Amino acid sequence: MTVTAISPEAFRAMMLPVCAAIDGHAVDDALGKHLNGLFPGDGTDVRAIEAACHQAIAVGWMCAQGEEGRRFGRIVEPAPDTFDLSVDVVELTDVIGPHHRHPNGEICLVMPVTPTATFDGKGRGWCIYGPNSGHRPTVRDGQALVLYLLPGGAIEFTGR
């Protein structure tokens, strides 16, 4: 079976409407509600993003770093057309990742691969971590893809 994958450029273009929807909003719970309304976790747009992620992972250009159970990679660098947001994708399976903080916040789209999988206790859809927050990204009960957008691309691994 041959897998036809979306190109990095086409994936970037797919993310531009999401980036535009974030522009001008504070990185807080209200943004999560806004995104869950515009791009619901079980909606057509998110399902297309999820399918594109699976295709890109299968051909090797997405989540190309790391090891089994914790693969990751930056897909889009912050730029004017992304409203200064970076886009990263991680593929996590029953793991507690390294502690990091989000100087400008983190906007996460949780896409469970295993239907019961959760990311930091949250299922399918958007979750928001405000500026100066931090956590150990944790996936339980299976595998999940997490796409996250970082204002200014800012993330600090703390080593804790």
Can you give the residue ranges of every domain in the chain?
Answer: 8-152
Question: Residues 52-69: pLDDT tens digits?
Answer: 999 999 999 999 999 989
If one counts every other C-beta atom within 10 angstroms of the C-beta of residue 7, the result is 12
Q: Provide the pLDDT confidence category of residue 2 given band limits of 50, 70 and 90.
A: low
Domain spanning 8-152: which superfamily?
Jelly Rolls (2.60.120.10)
pLDDT at 4 over 80: no
pLDDT score for 56: 96
Distances (CA, A) of 152 to 12, 21, 61, 82: 16, 16, 23, 10
> What is the mean predicted confidence (pLDDT) over 13-33?
97
End-to-end CA distance of the chain: 43
Kindly report whether the global pTM for this prediction surpasses the value 0.85: yes
**76-86 b/e with 16+ CB inside 10 Å = b?**
bebeeebbbbb
